[in-house]
Amino acid sequence: MAKEKKKLPLAAYIFAGLVLGILAGAALMKTPEIAVEYIKPFGTLFLNLVKFIVVPIVLFSIMSGVISMQDMRKVGSIGVKTVCYYMCTTAMAVLIGLVIANLCKGFFHQLATSGLEYEAAEAPSFIETIVNIFPNNALEPMVNANMLQVIVIALFFGFGAIAVGEKGRAEFVESASAISMYVMDTIIKLSPIGVFCLITPVVAENGPSVLGDLATVLLVAYAAYILHMVVVYSLTVKAMGGLSPIQFFKGMLPAILFAFSSASSVGTLPLNLECVQKLGAKKDVASFVLPLGATINMDGTAIYQGVCVIFIATCFGVDLTIGQQLTIILTATLASIGTAGVPGAGMIMLAMVLQSVGLPVEGIALVAGIDRIFDMGRTTVNITGDAACTLCVSKMEEKRQAQKEKTEA
């Protein structure tokens, strides 16, 4: 009997799409309008398909997970572990960004700062943030893909199903979750084409500018991105998740490549969910931790804050003190939670951090032109951090359950 041909993994096809997209983009640098007008729309179409399935997946998978746990305290336990992990790794991320930027600031090109203009969006207050977490109707959060509010809706309905007992054991939620997953799998098969169409216009439009005065800042940011993933996530996944770092990054490759191409944490969510479950994460844990992480976990954004603040300070001729840099770490960590779910959160966070150390907000204009290139890297870090947290929390919950069963025996 002839051996069946071994199919190439999805990551290989996505990588091929990425490479071909970069080559096509490089070939179209002199005529980027072709990439923008004829290729980008198909990338947008694919990303729209991915985003369309995100809300049903988050809603039904969280409801299904909460109902299957049968214990509201377990949901609380997972939530506390998740937020603590995200806060700690975000603080570590901004620290790494500051250290690397300080070591390399002598290589930064000091750009002219006269005539800079930038109007920063106003960050919501703490009370506004709390109020905005809770929706005033059930449909608007789904229409606007407000993940925090969708999570809250799913939690309330999940808790309600537990509270009413047998009446809440309808199979509808499980069926809807299974259907959503099937639709997601179908869309994910188009990832290689989607990645090609998303990356080609980015390279065609930004290729020449990346080689300019901001090349050093980009290299420093990406060095910090890679260092954070290789060191922090490897250590936590190994120590807390019981998983080999090589196995972790190999399993996460499809989601990493997609995140880099799309620069969308929410868009990467379905593929990320698939990857972490294959790596051994429990479905009920993954369906809660990943959507929450896609909204509030901003390790990559925190690194970006650290690097950009040092660069902007250098351009304005300001030498930040140790005290000011500690303020940056605290502000960036708290801002990652405070701006959760707010459109353009990265820029709002950067404005808040600049203001916290007395730097002009107009300095954002120095890096705004190539923000998409920064965003590709920081999104990759963000979703990888979401996955690392999921695996760690899942393993901790397994140990807690095993200990509970041992005690009861």
Going by C-beta distance under 8 Å and a sequence separation of 6 or more, which residues neighbour residue 317? 110
On the CB side of 56, CA atoms within 13 Å amount to 18
Structure tokens at 261: 């191409």
CA geometry: angle 93, 380, 219, nearest 5 deg: 70
* Mean pLDDT to the nearest integer, 50-71: 80
Give the integer Cα–Cα distance in Å for 292 and 301: 16
66 vs 243 pLDDT, higher one: 243
Eight-class DSSP state of 144: T
Residue with tokens 């729309």: 41
Q: Is the pLDDT of residue 281 over 50?
A: yes
Taking residue 209's Cβ as centre, other Cβ atoms within 10 Å add up to: 13
Give the integer Cα–Cα distance in Å for 63 and 80: 18
* pLDDT of the residue at 390: 95
Give the integer Cα–Cα distance in Å for 18 and 196: 5
Q: Reduce the DSSP state of residue 110 to 3 states and report it.
A: coil
Give the integer Cα–Cα distance in Å for 371 and 377: 10
Worst-scoring range by mean pLDDT, 186-190, 207-211, 284-288, 386-390?
A: 207-211
* pLDDT of the residue at 225: 96
Residue 252's Cβ-count burial label (10 Å; 0-12, 13-18, 19+) is buried
Worst-scoring range by mean pLDDT, 88-92, 167-171, 183-187?
A: 167-171
Q: Compute and round to an integer the Cα radius of gyration of the chain.
A: 22
The string of DSSP codes covering 199-228 is HHHHHHHHHHHHTSTTHHHHHHHHHHHHHH
Phi (first) and psi of residue 28, to 5 degrees: -105, 15
* pLDDT of the residue at 52: 86
Report for 43-57, 68-82, 332-346: range of highest mean pLDDT: 43-57
* pLDDT of the residue at 262: 85
From residue 124, alpha-carbon distances to 4, 319, 332 in Å are: 57, 29, 15
pLDDT classification of 368: cutoffs 50, 70, 90:
confident
Check if the beta carbon of residue 187 is closer than 8 Å to that of residue 270: yes
Give the integer Cα–Cα distance in Å for 25 and 19: 10
What is the pLDDT of the chain when averaged over all its residues?
A: 84
Report for 98-102, 285-289, 328-332, 345-349: range of highest mean pLDDT: 98-102
243 vs 149 pLDDT, higher one: 243
Going by C-beta distance under 8 Å and a sequence separation of 6 or more, which residues neighbour residue 202? 25, 372, 373, 376
Q: Is the pLDDT of residue 234 over 90?
A: yes
Give the integer Cα–Cα distance in Å for 156 and 170: 16
Give the integer Cα–Cα distance in Å for 21 and 342: 30
Residue with tokens 């959160």: 345
* pLDDT of the residue at 1: 41
Q: Is the pLDDT of residue 169 over 80?
A: no
* pLDDT of the residue at 232: 96
* pLDDT of the residue at 4: 47
pLDDT classification of 248: cutoffs 50, 70, 90:
very high
The string of DSSP codes covering 57-85 is HHHHHHHHHHHHH--HHHHHHHHHHHHHH
* pLDDT of the residue at 178: 83
pLDDT classification of 283: cutoffs 50, 70, 90:
confident
Q: Is the pLDDT of residue 2 over 50?
A: no
Phi (first) and psi of residue 123, to 5 degrees: -75, 140
351 vs 408 pLDDT, higher one: 351
109 vs 363 pLDDT, higher one: 363
Going by C-beta distance under 8 Å and a sequence separation of 6 or more, which residues neighbour residue 326? none
Phi (first) and psi of residue 280, to 5 degrees: 110, 5
